[in-house]
Amino acid sequence: MLTNKLKSLIAAVAVSGALATMVQADTWQVGANIGNVPWEFQDDSGAYVGFEIDLVNEVASRLGHDVEIVNIPFNGLFSAVQSGRVDIAISSITITEERLQSVSFAQPYYDSDQSLTVAEGGPSTVAEMKDKVVGVDTGSTGDMWATAQNDAAGFAEIRRYEGLAPAMLDLGAGRIQGYISDIPALLYYVKDKPNLKVVARIETGERYSMMFDKDAELAMQVNDVLTVLKNEGMIAKLHEKWFGATPEDTTSTVTVMDMP
C-alpha cells in the first residue's frame, strides 16, 4: 500500500509534468536561417535580433505564447514546418505558387526584389556576369531566378550556399564574382562595407511572410494578428527601426491583404 507521503510525491510529480507540458505547448518553435540580416541574426551579445524576430515575438505575445528560435538553413525550413519540427518559419520567405502547393503563408508584410552584389571592381550588371561564377542561397528565390535565367545569362557556374556569411566570404576572396539574393538584406549588409556594392535590382515582385504547414490553423490566427498590427502601425514602425525609412502606403508592410 502507498504511504500518504509517497502519494503526495506522485501527485506532485504529475502536476509538475502537466505544468511542463503546458509551458511547452505555449512556446512556439520558430525556424529561422540565422545570419539573414536584417531579418534574423545575432547581435554582439549573441542574442537573436532582427525585423522578423521582433515581429514573430509580437505576434506570439498577442496570442499568449512565447517563442523559441531554432536555427535552420534556409532550404531546411520547408521540411521543418511540414514535419512539425517547427510551428512557424521565418527568413524573408517569398510567397510563390509552387510553395503554396505544400505549405501555407499568412498575409505578406514586405515587398521585395532580387539583387546583384559584387566586390569592388566587379561586374556592374547582370549581363556582365556572363562566363562568371554567381552565388545564391540554396532553394531561395535567387536560386530559382538564376537557374531559370542560366542559359540566357551564360553563368559559368551557379554556386549554392547555406546563408549570407559564407557567400560574402567567397565574394570578397574572388571565388565568386557576384551574388544574387534579396535586395533589402544586401543593402543592409553592404552599407558599412565599402568593398562590396549592390549594383543591380532584379525586379521579381516578391512578397515575404511567415510560413506554416499546409492548411495549419495557426496560419489563420497569425494572419488575423498581422491585420491588427498593420492597422496599429506596428509593422511600419519595425520598418523604420530596421531600414531607417517609412514604408510606402501601397506596400504590404502597411496594407492589409488577404491570405494567399
pLDDT digits (tens, 9 = 90+) for 146-176: 999 999 999 999 999 998 999 999 999 999 9
What is the pLDDT at residue 163? 86
pLDDT class of 122 with cuts at 50, 70, 90: very high
| pLDDT, average across residues 209-232 | 98
Kindly write down the DSSP assignment for every residue of 81-107, as one continuous string: HHHTS-SEEEEEEEP-HHHHTTEEE--
Picking from 53-57, 104-108, 182-186, which range would have the lowest pLDDT averaged per residue? 182-186
Q: What whole-number percentage of the chain has pLDDT above 90?
A: 84
Using an 8 Å Cβ cutoff, are 140 and 164 in contact?
no
pLDDT class of 245 with cuts at 50, 70, 90: confident
The CA-atom distances, in angstroms, between 20 and each of 14, 135, 239 are 10, 45, 36
Pair (135, 91) in one structural domain? no
Helix 234-243 / helix 217-232 crossing angle, nearest 10 deg: 80
For the chain, what is the mean pLDDT?
A: 91
pLDDT digits (tens, 9 = 90+) for 21-71: 334 458 999 999 999 999 999 999 999 999 999 999 999 999 999 999 999
60-93: burial string, b at 16+ Cβ within 10 Å, e else: bebeebebebbebbbebbbebbbeeebbbbbbbb
Q: What whole-number percentage of the chain has pLDDT above 70?
A: 90
**Dist. CA 203–CA 193, nearest whole Å:** 24
- CA-closest candidate to residue 110, choices 163, 59, 184, 36: 184
Pair (138, 102) in one structural domain? no
- Count of structural domains, the chain: 2
Return phi, psi of residue 57, to 5°: -65, -40
Residue 257 covered by a domain: no
69: which DSSP letter?
E
Which ranges of the chain does DSSP label H, i.e. alpha helix? 4-25, 51-62, 77-83, 97-100, 141-153, 164-173, 183-190, 217-232, 234-243
Any idea what the CATH number is for the domain that residue 50 is in?
Answer: 3.40.190.10
Grid cell 543592409 in the structure block, residue: 188
Pair (201, 228) in one structural domain? no
Pair (142, 196) in one structural domain? yes
pLDDT surpasses 60 at 204: yes
Pair (200, 234) in one structural domain? no
Pair (83, 156) in one structural domain? no
pLDDT class of 191 with cuts at 50, 70, 90: confident
Pair (70, 166) in one structural domain? no
Residues written for the chain: 260
Please state whether the peptide bond connecting residue 38 to the residue before it is cis, i.e. omega within 30 degrees of 0: yes
Picking from 19-28, 192-201, 227-236, which range would have the lowest pLDDT averaged per residue? 19-28
pLDDT surpasses 50 at 19: no
Pair (10, 103) in one structural domain? yes
pLDDT class of 6 with cuts at 50, 70, 90: very low
Domain span at residue 133? Answer: 113-205
| pLDDT, average across residues 183-212 | 93
pTM (2 decimals)? 0.80
Helix (H) or strand (E) holding 213: strand 196-213
